[in-house]
């Protein structure tokens, strides 16, 4: 078996939720052909995962981890492409890319490290920060209520929508595997404590529960499960699992249709 470790020094804070995501991903790809996998990362604490995995990887600009992945998939449709992105990366800086990748059903898997703030820059609020969050950019408390990113992605016509938790590594591993096997756009939102700036471990340990995989093709049921938790820190149950999973032709198949005689370079030049 290939050693996935690198020689990079790990600089995540002890007990950071990113460790759980790294461990679950390593297990999820244990039986994959690593020549057929590529990962992209945004910029932030989450993105250091690219430093810690001995695998094809691309460190993008902040907010641009998704278009980088879409480009890799279009150029080489045989690859499984996985995006590691933060909530700041994809729900603030690069939110338009996330919406459009879901809308066009790009065959990529997005792993959203949702620690509910910009962590690497020491704790500014993001679109999913809790109302009243006091950080470097909101010392008086954030006056906005959080966005529900999964509701947004359902509206954007994402074909696979799931949530897991970095503190439940087995569940996360299984969810990542299913997302990678899905043909089309898949999102796994990972609830992730940032122990230094927004430590949610106790809250998620207490409130998360695992859903049964049923009626995954019902949009109405998906919406109702997705809206069960409103991203507050009130004592409410938080469902983990797959909310929605439907079949729809992937973007690269439609984009590259009737282009089989051309080289990948020619196709890409036409698409730019
Ligand atoms: C275009 C751009 N804007 C801002 C920054 C500064 N910056 C670097 S990391 C970061 C925070 C990243 O937050 P998030 O994506 O949530 O990841 P986390 O650190 O929480 O894992 C910011 C704002 C940057 N590098 N590039
Ligand atoms: S600042 Fe937060 S997200 Fe970044 S490594 Fe430390 S605990 Fe993890």
- Tell me the pLDDT tens digit for each residue of 201-241: 999 999 999 999 999 999 999 999 999 999 999 999 999 99
**Dist. CA 143–CA 145, nearest whole Å:** 7
Sign of CA dihedral 95, 96, 97, 101: positive
pLDDT surpassing 90 at residue 122: yes
Architecture field, domain 18-271: 3-Layer(aba) Sandwich (3.40)
Ligand 1 in reach of 171 Cβ (< 6 A): no
Ligand 2 in reach of 195 Cβ (< 6 A): yes
Nearest CA to ligand 1 atom 9: 44
**Dist. CA 9–CA 172, nearest whole Å:** 24
Instruction: Locate 33 and state its tokens.
Output: 């052909």
Per-residue pLDDT tens digits for 67-107: 999 999 999 999 999 999 999 999 999 999 999 999 999 99
Nearest CA to ligand 2 atom 6: 13
Ligand 1 in reach of 242 Cβ (< 6 A): no
**Dist. CA 135–CA 148, nearest whole Å:** 20
Per-residue pLDDT tens digits for 145-196: 999 999 999 999 999 999 999 999 999 999 999 999 999 999 999 999 999 9
Instruction: Locate 178 and state its tokens.
Output: 């299913």
**Dist. CA 249–CA 183, nearest whole Å:** 8
**Dist. CA 231–CA 147, nearest whole Å:** 8
pLDDT at res. 256: 74
pLDDT at res. 271: 75
pLDDT at res. 265: 74
Mutate to test the pocket of ligand 1, among 13, 118, 191, 199 (most ligand atoms within 8 A of CB): 118
User: For ligand 1, what atom is nearest to the CA of residue 120?
Assistant: 19
Burial 191-217 (b: 16+ CB within 10 A, else e): bbbbbbbbebbeebeebbeeeeeeebe
CA of 198 from ligand 2 middle (Å) equals 9
Please state the domain extents for the chain: 18-271
Nearest CA to ligand 2 atom 2: 194
Where does the pLDDT of residue 2 fall: very low under 50, low under 70, confident under 90, or very high at 90 and above? Answer: confident
Q: In sequence order, which residues have a C-beta less than 8 Å from that of residue 264 and are 6 or more positions away? A: 75, 76
Nearest CA to ligand 1 atom 2: 62
pLDDT at res. 269: 79
Nearest ligand by distance to the CA of 124: 1
């Amino acid at each position: 078996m290939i050693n996935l470790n690198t020689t990079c020094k790990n600089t995540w804070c002890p007990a950071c939720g990113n460790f759980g995501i790294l461990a679950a991903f390593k297990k999820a790809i244990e039986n994959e052909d690593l020549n057929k996998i590529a990962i992209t990362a945004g910029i932030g604490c989450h993105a250091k995962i690219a430093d810690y995995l001995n695998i094809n990887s691309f460190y993008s600009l902040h907010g641009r981890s998704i278009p980088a992945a879409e480009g890799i998939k279009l150029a080489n449709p045989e690859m499984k492409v996985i995006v590691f992105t933060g909530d700041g990366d994809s729900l603030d800086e690069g939110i338009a890319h996330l919406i459009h990748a879901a809308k066009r059903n790009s065959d990529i898997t997005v792993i959203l490290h949702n620690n509910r703030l910009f962590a690497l820059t020491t704790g500014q609020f993001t679109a999913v920060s809790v109302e009243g969050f006091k950080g470097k950019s909101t010392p008086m408390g954030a006056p906005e209520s959080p966005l529900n990113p999964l509701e947004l992605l359902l509206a954007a016509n994402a074909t696979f929508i799931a949530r897991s938790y970095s503190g439940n590594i087995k569940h996360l591993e299984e969810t990542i595997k299913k997302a990678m096997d899905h043909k089309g756009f898949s999102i796994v939102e990972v609830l992730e404590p940032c122990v230094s700036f927004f430590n949610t471990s106790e809250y998620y340990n207490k409130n998360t529960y695992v859903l049964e995989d049923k009626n995954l093709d019902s949009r109405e049921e998906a919406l109702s499960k997705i809206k069960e938790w409103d991203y507050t820190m009130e004592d409410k149950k938080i469902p983990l699992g797959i909310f929605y999973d439907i079949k729809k032709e992937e973007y690269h198949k439609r984009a590259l249709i009737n282009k089989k005689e051309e080289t990948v370079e020619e196709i890409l030049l036409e698409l730019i």
